Structure 1
Amino acid sequence: MDLQLEQLRTFVAVVDDGSFEAAARRLHVTPSAVSQRMKALESTVGRVLIERGKPARPTPSGRVVLRLARQVALLATDALRELGQDSAEPAEFSRIPIVVNSDSLNIWVLPALADAVRQRICVDVYREDQDHSAELLRRGTVMAAITSESRPVQGCSVRPLGRMSYRPMASPEYVRTWLPEGPTPDALARAPMVVFDRRDDLQDCYLRRRSRREWNPPRSYLPSSGDFPEAIRLGLGWGMMPPQQIERCPAGSVVPIDPAAVVEVPLYWQQWRLDSRPLGILADSVASAAAAALDR
């Protein structure tokens, strides 16, 4: 198959920006040109690659080609950067899609991303729970992920980053109201808890360690890492918090409901096996930030 670089870049733009019109704006061409390139690419491959909805999504066949398209586009940018390194013109920015869990994004990853931008690397960040982020690697949606999976996704390498530790916390008033005799199984079964979203398993992990009983306490869902500690401080429920979030709270405003309890989440950096300087720079920046912020 004779796959054209221009067509592959257009495919990536359609997937990332969600429509032919948005891709046209990014590429500075008309929507008609984007449509013609996609039709030509699909004709060459002999498969439908895009589900033309809102947003546009890759088909199963499209995910295979998307992975190739991202690799080719990144390597082409790398080559142009090297060819133009003696030029007076500034090097083109590389664009790398990654997936990061919310707590890492809120607590320690941003300095690494800022360092990458200083080296002319832009990131397209997808937010997903660390237990599910590797799926975006498998689909070809992203090139790298912070994940809790130590087993490499096919075609990827793995690098350990460290561990995030979480403790069950609540406001003092909440403890007096709901857990006056401590975190007994009967009290925990009735006490409201705060959960990030329906993929967040940290609170349930702590409960499973306390007892094998079936737990179904009242839950409030709050998918915002920035507001999660405030919700606990205000008494919406108890929840699992890392030390960095606890330290940001006013002294004494949150207390551990079970001082000895800790849930540790190992984190890994997975990325495509690709000889790309920008991808290597980004990996090193993330690893450096993790070494300064995470438990080893």
Structure 2
Amino acid sequence: MQLDSARLTALLAVIQHGSFERAARVLHVTPSAVSQRIARLEDELGLVLIARGMPCQATPHGERLARHAEAVALAERDTLDRLGVPAPDATRPVVRVAVNADSLATWFVDALSDLQSMRVDVVIDNEDHSADWLRRGEVMAAVTAQTHPVGGCDRRRLGRLRYRATAAPAFLAQHFADGVTAQALQAAPALSFNTLDRLQARWAAQYVAPVEPGLGHRLPSANAFVEAALAGVGWGLNPEALVADALSAGRLHELLADTPFDVPLDWHYVRRLETVMAPLTEAVTAAAARHLRAGTGAGAAVDSLL
């Protein structure tokens, strides 16, 4: 079976813009034409691809097909770039990337400031698991702390994101009155990004003891982490850049003085799309150089991963 490119383009436009009417304006056709293309694609596959509503949303099957359509568009753009054929602004490809929340809150947006050749669709996950999106073929690139090879991808080392274990003074007085001990860490509620977040446990193992910190609120947001620490409802590892002012003002304290925790970050991207991805790769590495701490291998040339 060969998928019709016009129907795939219509599907992607509806998902990206949330309605048949807005997709039609972008594609310079009528809403009826868009609806017919989607209907024929669904009939051809025997699957429902769009959940009609306000906004229209992709079904799981539609989401998978949309990722395929994005990959096809990006591969086509890569081929045209190699041929020296310029792309009009209206056909700027969408690049889906996985980024950890702390990078998004501290430095990644800076990489987008001068990026004109493409649009970026960011999905957020923990830095230890963002590369899994790449392995599943759901993104074209990822900022990740994983150093394991991702098949078919190349890698740039970015640098180290520095964290501080912080809490409000009243929280420290309540939970660590006798010091930051293994027992106290097991009892005090620690914030976490999700069930896979091991950052607090890794800090504890490095500076105190290999224990499981007490269970606290689960907050999948970098800014919410800081606000929760300020509110005194838990302790957690926060990016130094986000808590520097609060530490200076005394509104937050480190659990243990001068105990930074650095997480090395890499940029992984699909090798076969190297040419079309080059502007984003260069923008990401330049922004990382401005914001992250240099470390072993930071700023190094591309590593090929089989």
2: distance between equivalents of 1:47 and 1:273? 33
**Residue in structure 2 matching 1:83, options 82, 85, 88:** 85
* Partner of residue 255 from structure 2, selected from 257, 267, 271: 257
CA pair 188-151 structure 1, distance change in 2 beyond 3 A: closer
Deviations 1:204-236 (A, max 9, x none): 3334454345x3624023333223223212322
- Of 122, 130, 134, which residue of structure 2 is paired with 1:133? 130
Q: Structure 2: which amino acid aligns with 1:69?
A: A
Taking structure 1 as reference, are residues 19 and 273 closer, same or farther at Cα in structure 2, changes over 3 Å only? Answer: farther
Other-structure match for 2:233:
236
Unaligned runs of 5+ in 1: none
C-alpha spacing 1:25/1:219, structure 2 compared with 1 (3 Å): farther
Q: Closer, same or farther in 2 for the Cα pair 1:137/1:39, shift >3 Å?
A: farther
Secondary structure at the residue paired with 1:124?
strand
Instruction: Tell me the equivalent position of 2:182.
Output: 185
| Counterpart-to-counterpart distance in 1, 2:225 and 2:280 | 28
Corresponding position: 1:151 with 2:148: yes
- Does the 8 A contact of 2:201 with 2:210 survive in 1? no
1:38-77 matches, within 5 Å, as 38=38, 41=41, 48=47, 50=49, 55-59=57-61, 63=64, 66=66, 68-77=68-77
The alignment's TM-score, normalised by the length of structure 2, stands at 0.77
CA distance in 1, matches of 2:279, 2:177: 51
1:171 is displaced (CA, Å) by 2.2
Give the whole-Å Cα distance in 2 for the aligned partners of 1:43 and 1:156: 35
Structure-to-structure mapping, 1:13-24, within 5 angstroms: 13-14=13-14, 16=16, 23-24=23-24
Amino acid at match of 1:158: R
Secondary structure of the corresponding residue to residue 137 of structure 1: helix
- In the alignment, what sits opposite 2:158? 161
Number of aligned residue pairs: give it: 287
Give, as a single letter, the amino acid of the residue that structure 1 aligns with 2:184. A
In the TM superposition, residue 250 of structure 1 has moved relative to its aligned partner by 5.5
SS where residue 200 of structure 1 aligns? coil
Q: Confirm or deny: 8 A CA contact 1:92 1:120 kept in the other structure.
A: no
Partner of 1:7: 7
Matching of residue 205 in structure 1 with residue 207 in structure 2: no
* Deviations, residues 259-290 of structure 1 (Å, cap 9, x unaligned): 35443322111111234544110011101111
Counting aligned pairs with the same residue, the percent is: 37
Letter in 1 for 2:251: S
Give the Cα–Cα distance (whole angstroms) in 1 for the partners of residues 292 and 241 of structure 2: 10
SS in 2 for 1:249: helix
Which stretches of structure 1, 4 residues or more, deviate above 6 A after TM superposition?
18-22
2:172 maps to what in 1? 175
In the other structure, the counterpart of 2:281 is: 283
Where 2:57 maps in the other structure, the secondary structure is coil
Change over 3 Å in CA distance of 1:151–1:50 after alignment to 2: farther
SS of the residue aligned with 1:269?
Answer: strand
Structure 2: distance between partners of 1:263 and 1:76: 42
Change (3 A) 1:77 1:257: same
Residues 90 and 126 (structure 1), Cα distance of their counterparts in 2 relative to 1, 3 Å cut? closer
Segments of 5+ residues of structure 2 without an aligned counterpart are 296-306
1:112 aligns with 2:111: yes
- CA deviation map 1:139-161 (0-9, x unaligned): 43321111122233333222221
